[in-house]
Amino acid sequence: MRNVIVTGASRGLGLAVVRHLAAEGYRALAIARKTSAELASAMKTSRPGSLHFVPFDLVEIDKLPQLVRQLHKDFGPIYGLVNNAAMGTDGVLAMMSTSQIEGLVRLNTVSPIVLSKYVVRRMMAEGGGRIVNVASITAFTGHSGLSVYAATKSSMIGFTRSLAREVGPLGVNVNAVAPGFLETEMTRSMDSRRREQLARRSALRRFASVEDVADAIGYLLGDKTGSITGTVLTVDAGTTA
Active-site residue numbers? 149
- Percent of the chain whose predicted confidence (pLDDT) is above 90: 83
**Tell me, what's the pLDDT at 185?**
57
Burial class (CB in 10 A: 0-12, 13-18, 19+), 97: exposed
The length of the chain is: 241
For residue 99, pLDDT over 90 is answered with yes
Quick: pLDDT tens for 106-123: 999 999 999 999 999 999
For residue 174, pLDDT over 60 is answered with yes
Give residue 182's pLDDT band: very low, low, confident or very high (50, 70, 90).
confident
- Average pLDDT along the chain: 93
According to DSSP, residue 106 is labeled: I
The mean per-residue pLDDT over the stretch 125-151 comes to 92
SS3 of 132, please? Answer: strand
On whether the CB atoms of residues 165 and 156 are closer than 8 A, the answer is: no
Give residue 168's pLDDT band: very low, low, confident or very high (50, 70, 90).
very high
For residue 188, pLDDT over 80 is answered with no
